[in-house]
Structure 1
Amino acid sequence: MENDWKKIKTYTNAIQAEIVKQMLEENGLPTVVLNKQDSSYLFGKIELYVSESSVEAAVRLIEEAEGEQ
């Protein structure tokens, strides 16, 4: 991963993180999901990263999507 990636959100649900990742990528924002959960017991966090230049746009898209729910 390059040095200019910034963590913008943390999840505990892998499916939710992947849905947000897909939504951001559909809007032209490269996204990385870093799954730090234990594979046996599913504790830990899943972190969502975007490039530093995309942070503002990504946060706005996530807030809009969460507001529609």
Structure 2
Amino acid sequence: MSSSWIKIYTSNEFIRSEMVRQVLTENGIDAVLMNKQDSSYKIGTVEVYIHPQNFDKAIEIIIQNEL
């Protein structure tokens, strides 16, 4: 992943990271998932990345939505 993206959220549960990504996207913030889980055992993390200029707004949205 290029340096133009920063990690904003990490979870062991795919669905929780997907919920964060969706809420951010619905609020106009480009967000992508990086699935680092083992495909067989579902061990690992799923991370959400955003552009650095959206960091403050993204944190505010995550806190407001209790994600």
TM-score (norm 1): 0.89
Secondary structure at the aligned position of 1:29 is classed as: coil
Runs (4+) off by over 2 Å:
none
Query: Alpha carbon RMSD of aligned pairs, Å?
Result: 1.3
| Equivalent residue letter for 1:28 | G
What's 2:4 paired with?
4
| Equivalent residue letter for 2:6 | K
Counterparts of 1:39 and 1:59 in 2: how far apart (Å)?
A: 29
Structure 2 unaligned segments of length 5 or more: list them: none
Counterparts of 1:3 and 1:31 in 2: how far apart (Å)?
A: 14
| Sequence identity (%) | 40
What's 2:27 paired with?
27
Secondary structure at the aligned position of 1:63 is classed as: helix
Structure 1 unaligned segments of length 5 or more: list them: none
Secondary structure at the aligned position of 1:66 is classed as: coil
Superposed CA deviations along residues 5-58 of structure 1, whole A, max 9, x for unmatched, are: 110111111011111101100000000110000011010011111000001110
What's 2:18 paired with?
18
